[in-house]
Chains A and B, each alone.
Chain A
Amino acid sequence: MNKKANVVIIGGGISGCSTAYNLAKKGVKDIVVVDKSYISSGATGRCGAGVRMQWGTEMNCKLAKQSIEFYENANEILEYNRDVEFKQGGYLLIASTDTEMEQFAKNVKLQNSLDIPSKILSLEEAKEIVPHLNTEGLTGAAYCPKDGFLNPFKTTDAFYQAAKRMGVEFLTHTEVLEIKTNGKKIEKVVTDQGDIITDTVVNAAGGHSKIICDMVGVDLPVYSERHQILVTEPVEPMQDPMVMSFSLNMYCQQTPEGTFIMGRGDDNEPRDLRTTSSWEFMDEMAKTVTSILPPLGELRVIRQWAGLYNMTPDKQPVYGRVKEIDKFFLSVGFSGHGFMFGPLTGIVISEMILGEEPSIDVSMLGIDRFEKGNLILEPSVV
């Protein structure tokens, strides 16, 4: 296989598929998406499937809000023959200290100023929404009814199908080995299946984004770390919102299938690319969830898995060009929330490639912010 492309997108997750879709919609021809495995095989297909507007920085709030508004109509916009299974059951964020409640109050004020309908709840009000919540040791909660669940596989499949209908070529099971440059210009992308001649590359490689940057000598200040999840057997609907706690380190939501998906982070996780499962996670997750949501103790765990968070120093994504190489675009560093930003990622990256007026100003998410030290830290990540 040797071919030419106007744009090569590396990574067939939500970011890559959404970017391909938006570029094709704007009339760009000869777009190639390359993935070393299958569509949504990486972080997208391993994520917790939650989408929320309740963030702590203005940029994250805006990206999430507009993405969720897209998801509300995703089946129609993408003319999908299946269903992306969007369910707006809300997110109930629970606090366990007074300091955390103060942070929630700040976040809600910011969110409300951006027309996000979140609010602070008392523990009594929280219990009305999730009757089986154990409020012992908790100090309060925040809630947004617009947050919810979305099927990551089918959502990515919807973007993939729509892009394919417009002529985008997807090379799955194809690994990028090298990116050849001449000075600041990209000449071709070398894969294990042959070369693709192009001058424009999008790095949407998720957990592997740094490897791609290293190929062109761009120093990306991100690292990847494993985050684990487990899922239970399906039961009748009993919990509408995602229940999430930053201080107690957990999130847990019932999917439309009836299964419960839950996960937590681990501060001792090594910075590498492993996606194996550990028994420590299973132990800690079981202890945490049975203490906060006791009736879930009766449910059987049927599977656990892991995916990579691609972490930036401020836990916000990196969008845009780099100074070292022309037409090399970053769509990386989502720090565990790339799936929920997918629609906006595709819009902003496609506008940058075509040099169009941006529909949302993401200039503060450029890679130069790390050099300049302009970091606004996102406080709300599990």
Chain B
Amino acid sequence: MSKEENTIVCRCSDVTLKELRDLIAEGYTDYNEIKRITRIGMGPCQGKTCTQIVLRELSQATGKPVSEIKNQNNRPPVVGVKLKLIAEEAKEDE
């Protein structure tokens, strides 16, 4: 197995460096497209681990600096919260 196949870039969804590079080579050069097909950035870490790696790979493939590549949208909540805690708080506010 090659090094690329052994390297996990997204720990939440087990996406390898090879899968990421293959997708970029297929023409998916928008972070959001890559996210939707591979689930990179959709797991419990919400991209806190994988985003930088994806942006770096996209930068190397497209020649654009990382600062010019659009990141995925950051969405709430910042960290995972149990539904029952949100429900209890919401009921107390009533």
Contacts and interface: CB of A to CB of B under 8 A. Distances in A.
Interface stretch (A37-45, A69-77, A371-379): A37-45
Interface in B48-94: 73, 75-77, 80-84, 86-87, 89-91, 93
B21 interface: no
Given A284-B90, A286-B90, A301-B83, A40 B36 contact: yes
A297 B46 contact: no
Contacts, number: 85
Contacts of A153: 36-37
B46 A287 contact: no
Contacts of A41: 32
Interface residues of B, number: 26
A299 interface: yes
B80 A302 contact: yes
Given A38-B33, A45-B36, A286 B87 contact: yes
- Determine the main DSSP class of A at the interface with B: mixed
Interface string A57-86: 000000000000000000000000010000
B82 to A, nearest CB: 5
A277 interface: yes
Interface string A28-59: 00000000011111000100000000000000
Interface string A299-325: 111111100000000000000000000
A39 B39 contact: no
A382 interface: no
14 contacts: A38-B33, A82-B37, A172-B30, A232-B83, A257-B13, A282-B76, A282-B77, A283-B87, A286-B90, A299-B83, A300-B82, A301-B77, A301-B83, A303-B46
Interface of A: 37-41, 45, 82, 153-154, 157, 172, 231-234, 257, 277, 279, 282-284, 286-287, 289-291, 296-305
